[in-house]
């Protein structure tokens, strides 16, 4: 298996597949409707997808809150592809883009079950943040670039 990670653009043919995976992993298990995986920053953000051949197996997004602060959101890897280093490679790519654009640090809000993954990738736990859908605890995390 050779997974390739590349930027993907909102008007690109595969962008619907990208959003489908984002919804399937991050929204569908909590009975959220299609469209709930999209927000007003998608058109201004950097999107990346991990491909195994033609299949999208990982997704993530980066946007800028300020010149110094980049934020990663909507990061997900298809269940059958987890624990193979794909998530770490996606983080590396987004961090590189953030740094090239002048960001000094990256923040994110990690779901409770993903905190260990981000700690392994040198993010520091800042504080407990919000509860999504009344069930999914998130934690604010940060990494200096």
Entry pTM? 0.94
Is pLDDT at 121 greater than 80 in this prediction? yes
The fraction of the chain above a pLDDT of 90, given in percent, is 94
Condensed to tens digits (0 to 9), the pLDDT of residues 61-113 reads 999 999 999 999 999 999 999 999 999 999 999 999 999 999 999 999 999 99
User: And the tokens for 145?
Assistant: 């670039």
Q: Could you tell me the pLDDT band of residue 11, with boundaries at 50, 70 and 90?
A: confident
pLDDT at 109: 98
Q: Of 67, 64, 74, nearest to 111 (Cα)? A: 74
The DSSP-derived string for 12-53 is STTHHHHHHHHHHHHTGGGTPPTTTT--TTGGGSEEEEEEET
Quote the radius of gyration of the chain (alpha carbons, Å): 14
The DSSP-derived string for 110-134 is EEGGGHHHHHHTT-EEEEEEEEETT
The fraction of the chain above a pLDDT of 70, given in percent, is 100
Count of alpha carbons within 13 angstroms of residue 41, beta-carbon side: 13
Distance CA 43, CA 63 (A): 10
Is pLDDT at 1 greater than 80 in this prediction? no
Q: Which of these CATH numbers, 3.40.630.30, 3.30.460.80, 3.40.50.150, 3.60.140.10, describes 3-144?
A: 3.40.630.30
């Amino acid at each position: 298996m050779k997974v390739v990670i590349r930027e993907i653009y909102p008007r690109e043919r595969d962008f619907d597949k990208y959003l489908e995976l984002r919804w399937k992993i991050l929204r569908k298990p909590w009975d959220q409707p299609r469209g709930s995986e999209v927000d007003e920053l998608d058109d201004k953000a950097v999107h990346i997808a991990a491909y195994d051949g033609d299949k999208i197996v990982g997704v993530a997004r980066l946007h800028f809150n300020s010149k110094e602060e980049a934020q990663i959101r909507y990061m997900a890897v298809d269940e059958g592809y987890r624990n193979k280093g794909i998530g770490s490679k996606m983080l590396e790519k987004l961090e590189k883009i953030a740094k090239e654009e002048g960001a000094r640090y990256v923040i994110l809000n990690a779901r409770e079950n993903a905190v260990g993954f981000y700690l392994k990738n040198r993010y520091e736990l800042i504080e407990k943040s919000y509860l999504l859908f009344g069930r999914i605890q998130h934690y604010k995390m940060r990494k200096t670039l």
